[in-house]
Amino acid sequence: AVFSVKQILAGVAKVGDSVTVRGWVRNRRDSKAGLSFVTVSDGSCFDAIQVIAENKLTNYNSEIVNLTKDCAVIATGKLVESQGGGQSVEIIADSIEVTGFVENPDTYPVSPKRHTVEYLREHAHLRIRTNLISSVMRIRNTASVAIHDYLQANGFYWVHTPLITASDCEGAGELFKVTTLDFDKLPRDDKGKVDYKQDFFGKESFLTVSGQLNVETYCMGLSKVYTFGPTFRAENSNTTRHLAEFWMVEPEMAFADLNDNMAVAQGMLKHVFKAVLDKNGDDMAFFAQFIDKSVATRLEKMVNDDFEVVTYTDAIARLEKSGRKFENPLYWGVDLASEHERFLCEELVGKPTIVTNYPKEIKAFYMRQNEDGKTVAAMDILAPGVGEIVGGAAREERYDVLVGKMQALGMDPASLDWYLDLRRFGTAPHAGFGLGLERAVSYITGVQNVRDIIPFPRTPKNVAF
């Protein structure tokens, strides 16, 4: 029967069974005794399985001794206890069928030597065949599923919010415009020139920067909801933590305040950490060996330890008191720069840190104004090695306060009339947050650049593949 490598190593097939594995050659070495040891990986888990080919196999000289990394094979044989070290079991092959050789192995882009992450990004279609990227992607999968598991277990409904939208949720103007390719149908001005300002069948529209506004409407009916999907930002930032297309999960809860919000964000992240430790021990061991030896232990610690909570005002005071020289200005009222965020959670606190109650001027229009008149009920979660991984807030549910805020920011309340309806018809306190999946997985794995956390990164300089 056919088994995945993961199933075989987990003992699903028994010693003595006839098994078939299918995958890609990780490496091959020949012994003088007329044996070839072929390790086969199918991506189901970190480890590969060793297949022993004897020279009596009919294609031994014609094919097997020519196998190189990533040739695709179907191997069938008897599962036996391993003679050497490494794995507990191996396969003595009855046959190895080669479904595809690798052309020109010497110039094959992901040959067995170690490659830089920058080089691998240029071969994004082949880099899944490296240990680094396959470990990241298995963990990305675990994290995504664990997010759903946690929210579903806690009574949240998954709502599919639109990717095409007319509103700029964050108000930062970092929008990609949606246009139709059908040139003849594009709206034209008096002179017959295409009017690119309005081009989604005559209306201006964009790719969403956040599903929050839409998911808030469902929150005011289903009580606990979340949206989880691709999100787009046209920010021209070439940093290790910005992508033009990334994945965000955005839970939203009715009758909830900032404390409830922090509890869910923290509970969800801990559940994700635990799932990765339970399911991806081998992948985490690889990161501990090659990236940062503290990654697995810090996750273990955080499953049981609470995040630090600090107000923005206290964070500024602690940063100032540290005496550290920063490149960016630091005073009450500034938006924290990445260097501030990282110094705070890495050096001053030493673990994920929730910063609350930011000045209202630096945060989005929908955040709930605090009694002090100066701050809003916002929270960001900062993670060592990354900086901000979560942004969230209690929402301004008071109609007059919200309209006043929009006017103060120069927004036209009429443009979001549907959103204001939620405050006209049965308004209720509510809160929510957004977790960037790539940044979370970057913290979990220690892999520093979000471009290596998403299969095909979209950045200002890269839309290849």
Q: Which residues bind Mg ion (CB under 5 A)?
A: 391
Q: What is the nearest approach in angstroms of ligand 4AD to the Cβ of residue 103?
A: 36
Tell me the two tokens of residue 17. Answer: 């069974």
Minimum Å gap between C-beta 232 and ligand 4AD is: 9
H or E element that contains 405:
helix 399-408
CB of 364 to Mg ion, least distance (A): 8
Nearest residue to Mg ion, using CB? 391
Angle (CA) 29-32-38 rounded to 5° is 25
Residues 6 or more apart in contact with residue 402 via CB below 8 angstroms: 365, 366, 396, 420, 423
> Could you tell which of ligand 4AD, Mg ion, none binds residue 28, using a CB distance below 5 to 8 A set by kind?
none
Q: How far is the CB of 151 from Mg ion (least distance, A)?
A: 20
If one asks whether residue 273 binds ligand 4AD (CB under 6 A), the answer comes out as no
Is the Cβ–Cβ distance between 73 and 25 less than 8 Å?
yes
Per DSSP bridges, beta strands 89-100 and 49-54 are parallel
Q: List own/partner pairs for 454-457 with CB under 8 A and 24 or more apart.
A: 454/140, 454/243, 454/245, 454/246, 454/247, 455/124, 455/128, 455/137, 456/124, 457/121, 457/124, 457/243
Taking alpha carbons only, the member of 138, 443, 140, 442 closest to residue 298 is 443
Report residue 242 as tokens: 């910005």
Which of Mg ion, ligand 4AD, none binds 436 (CB below 5-8 Å, type-dependent)?
ligand 4AD
Of these partners, ligand 4AD, Mg ion, none, which one is at the site of residue 439 (CB under 5 to 8 Å by kind)?
ligand 4AD
Angle between helices 281-290 and 258-279 (to 10 degrees): 90
Helices then strands, counting H and E runs in the chain, come out as 12, 15
CA 444 to the chain's CA centroid? 10
Closer to ligand 4AD by CB, 88 or 239: give it: 239
Asked whether position 434 contacts ligand 4AD by CB under 6 A, the answer is yes
Under the binding rule (CB under 6 A), the answer on residue 388 touching ligand 4AD is yes
Among 70, 168, 170, 199, binds ligand 4AD (CB under 6 A): 170
What is the torsion angle, in degrees rounded to the nearest 10, for the CA atoms of residue 226, residue 295, residue 342 and residue 208? -30
Considering beta carbons, is residue 93 or 213 the nearer one to ligand 4AD? 213
450 binds, among ligand 4AD, Mg ion, none (CB under 5 to 8 A by kind): ligand 4AD
Give, in degrees to the nearest 5, the angle at Cα 462 between 461 and 463: 135
What amino acid is encoded at 440 in this protein?
A: A
Choose the one of ligand 4AD, Mg ion, none that binds residue 365, judging by a C-beta under 5 to 8 angstroms depending on kind: none
Instruction: Tell me if 312 contacts ligand 4AD by CB under 6 A.
Output: no
Among 129, 242, 279, 423, binds ligand 4AD (CB under 6 A): 242
> Using the rule CB under 6 A, is 376 a contact of ligand 4AD?
no
Q: Which of 199, 396, 438, 452 binds ligand 4AD (CB under 6 A)?
A: 438
**CA-to-CA distance for 449 and 241, rounded, in angstroms?**
6
What is d(CA 424, CA 401) in angstroms, rounded to the nearest whole number? 12
Nearest to 168 by CA among 343, 337, 411, 354: 411
Output the smallest distance, CB 378 to ligand 4AD, in A: 9
In this structure, are residues 351 and 384 in contact, taking their beta carbons and an 8 Å threshold?
yes
Q: Which stretch binds ligand 4AD (CB under 6 A): 20-28, 38-46, 101-109, 432-440?
A: 432-440
The SS3 of residue 155 is: coil
Tell me the per-residue interface mask from 182 to 221 with ligand 4AD, x by CB under 6 A, - otherwise: ----------------------------x-x---------
Cα–Cα distances (Å) from 112 to 28, 50, 68, 71, 91, in that order, read 11, 17, 9, 12, 23
Out of 121, 138, 140, 233, the only residue in the binding site for ligand 4AD (CB under 6 A) is: 233
Closest to ligand 4AD by CB, 91 or 453: 453
Of 77, 352, 384, 392, the one binding ligand 4AD (CB under 6 A) is 392
Q: Give the CB-side neighbour count of residue 37, counting CA atoms within 13 A.
A: 12
Judged by CB under 6 A, which of 250, 283, 396, 452 binds ligand 4AD?
250
Binds ligand 4AD by CB under 6 A, chosen from 352, 384, 391, 457? 391
Q: Which of 23, 385, 432, 457 binds ligand 4AD (CB under 6 A)?
A: 432
- Least CB distance to ligand 4AD at residue 143 (A): 13
Q: Under the criterion CB under 6 A, does residue 368 sit at the interface with ligand 4AD?
A: no
User: Per CB under 6 A, does 390 bind ligand 4AD?
Assistant: yes
Please tell me whether residue 168 binds ligand 4AD under the rule CB under 6 A. Answer: no
Residue in 183, 217, 186, 184 with CA at minimum distance from that of residue 200: 186
For the bound state, the minimum distance from the C-beta of residue 451 to ligand 4AD, rounded and expressed in Å, comes to 10
Residues that bind ligand 4AD (CB under 6 A): 169-170, 210, 212, 233, 235, 242-243, 246, 248, 250, 388-393, 432-434, 436, 438-439, 450
